[in-house]
Structure 1
Amino acid sequence: MIRTLLALDGALIRGALAFVLTIEDDIDVVAELDRIEQVESAIRSSRPDVAVVDSGLYGTGRSAGTAPHYEQPCPVLVLVDTRRPRALGGALHSRSRNVGFLGNDVPPQRVVDGVRRLARGEPVVDAELVVAALNTESPLTARETEVLEIAADGSPVVEIAARVGLSPGTVRNHLSRIATKAGARTRIEAVRIAHDAGWI
């Protein structure tokens, strides 16, 4: 039986994946978490064979895909937001053999297969995700890059507009397009993603 820990943001997604895994004869979900801080103690108490972790949690406070703050005692399958795979570029270059990567939009059976393969010590990497992660070309225009670099220091829209010679409305439009390209929900998140990807 493959003892599996889930650390995923969102109770609905976590519950659905737990259901998919537990209907398999050889997989047992021993813990379900929504915060990375809970993982260390949960691993000590439940002793999973594999942990399935959301990249948003796995990368909290650091570049996505880098090692979490606790010593990693079991293989980890990281489910990556496919809208922003570039943040995993460095991790894919130097990744441990017991860390696998799949897009968070893969069919559930791919996650089941990934858990089994990691438990056997086999590599798990989504080829399309690797290609996207290693493609470091920025999707931002020169003007969008300029706007985002100024926004990175916390400057308000009016100040950004004055510094680049644009109207505040145009700056807001640039920030909106930047967020869309980065797959971000906020300006702060867009700055972090762009920085991790090497766009700024």
Structure 2
Amino acid sequence: MMIAQALQLLLELEEDFEVIGTAPNGTQALHDILQLHPDVALLDIEMPGLTGLEVATQLALLKQPVKIIILTTFARKEYFKQAINTQVAGYLLKDSPSETLAKAIRAVVTGQTIYESRLVKDMFTTKEPPLTKRELEILRVMKTTATTKEIAEKIFLAEGTVRNYISAILSKTGTTSRLEAVMLAQENGWI
């Protein structure tokens, strides 16, 4: 909530902006947007309750005219793809200069789409996987096998060793679950 309050203060310095609400979570944000009818809503990807993308999806389904800007610390390709599929008007990283946010808000009000250039560039470049051959092999097996024990049996390694590899895979890919790691690897054509 501290970040929301700081953003509110920052945006209120702009003469042509009026901040009509802030919300501590996605569920409250959706409720407030439906009640207050703002022109633009700034949403984070990972909010308690509903995520920013879930709020954006609900607003699209309800055919609400509000322009959504995702403002997040996550430069993950999969989040960015989801945001594009949800047709958000903007996707900016929190480390962007404050002037960039104000310009983006003005731009999306006029119908423009503003996406973080780093993320757009990443969408069109293929990267080598940050994983070793063994880690990629484990990912391939994880795609079809559920437990660590089953993975270990299939590739003839100890369970503890497999757990260590899985931990390294999650760390290197910046993912938080096996499923997310497999999906990321598939999206990037690594497996």
CA shift, 1:33, in A, is 2.3
For the pair 1:105 / 2:76, whether they are aligned, the reply is no
Question: Are 1:78 and 2:67 matched, yes or no?
Answer: no
For residues 154 and 69 of structure 1, what CA distance do their matches in structure 2 show? 34
In 1, distance between residues paired with 2:10 and 2:125?
A: 32
Number of the residue aligned with 2:112? 122
The residue aligned with 2:18 is 28
Contiguous gaps of at least 5 residues in structure 1: 1-10, 62-66
Which residue number in structure 1 is paired with residue 173 of structure 2?
182
Q: Residue 80 of structure 2 corresponds to which residue in structure 1?
A: 88
Q: Return the index of the structure with the highest Cα Rg.
A: 2
Equivalent residues of 2:43, 2:71 under 8 A apart: yes
Q: Secondary structure of the residue that 1:51 maps to in structure 2? A: strand
Spell out, residue by residue over 1:53-89, the C-alpha distance to the aligned partner (whole angstroms, 9 max, x if none): 123323349xxxxx50233421111124444124434
Is residue 15 of structure 1 aligned with residue 5 of structure 2? yes
| Other-structure match for 2:151 | 160
TM-score, reference length from structure 1: 0.71
Q: Which has the higher strand share?
A: 1
TM-score, normalised with respect to structure 2: 0.74
C-alpha deviations, 1:13-39, integer Å up to 9, x for none? 223222221222222222222433334
Measured on the aligned residues, the alpha-carbon RMSD in Å equals 3.2
Equivalent residue of 2:111, what SS?
A: coil
Identity among equivalent positions (%) equals 31
Aligned partner letter, 2:67 = P
Q: Report how far residue 129 of structure 1 moved.
A: 1.1
The SS at the match of 1:28 is: coil
Letter in 2 for 1:180: S
For 1:86 and 1:135, locate their aligned partners in 2 and report how far apart those are by CA, in whole Å.
Answer: 14
Q: Secondary structure at the match of 1:25?
A: coil
Normalized per residue, which structure has more helix? 2
- Name the residue aligned to 2:121: 131
Structure 2 gaps of 5+ residues are none
Instruction: Give the match for residue 52 of structure 2.
Output: 58
Q: CA shift at 1:189, angstroms?
A: 4.6
Output the CA distance in 2 between the equivalents of 1:14 and 1:192. Answer: 31
One-letter code aligned to 1:88: F
Identify the structure with bigger relative contact order (alpha carbons < 8 Å, sequence gap 6+): 1
Determine the structure 1 residue equivalent to 2:35: 45
> Alpha carbons of 1:72 and 1:129: their partners in 2 closer, same or farther (altered >3 Å)?
farther
